[in-house]
């Protein structure tokens, strides 16, 4: 059972943030500019790290095979 869940999450790893983003959008509180000013640089830093990591690893990271 654990292996099947892991394989499923690996295969669809590009889509796993979507439910989290939908939950955040659904249960958000009032718009807060300070949180955007703090969150946006963190988001950009994370994306830069992700892009550099994929670039460093190369084509091995772009497979859907387990």
Structural domain including 23 reads 2-62
Alpha carbon dihedral 18, 20, 23, 29, in 10-degree steps, equals -120
pTM of the predicted structure, to 2 decimals? 0.53
Q: What one-character DSSP code corresponds to residue 48?
A: H
How many domains is the chain partitioned into structurally?
Answer: 1
pLDDT digits (tens, 9 = 90+) for 27-47: 777 667 787 788 889 988 988
pLDDT digits (tens, 9 = 90+) for 13-26: 777 777 887 887 77
Q: Are 64 and 11 within 8 A, CB to CB? A: yes
């Amino acid at each position: 059972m654990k292996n099947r869940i892991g394989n499923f999450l690996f295969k669809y790893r590009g889509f796993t943030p979507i439910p989290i983003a939908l939950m955040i959008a659904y249960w958000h509180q009032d718009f807060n500019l300070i949180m955007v000013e703090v969150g946006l640089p963190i988001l950009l830093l994370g994306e830069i790290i992700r892009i550099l990591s994929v670039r460093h690893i190369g084509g091995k990271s772009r497979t859907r095979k387990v």
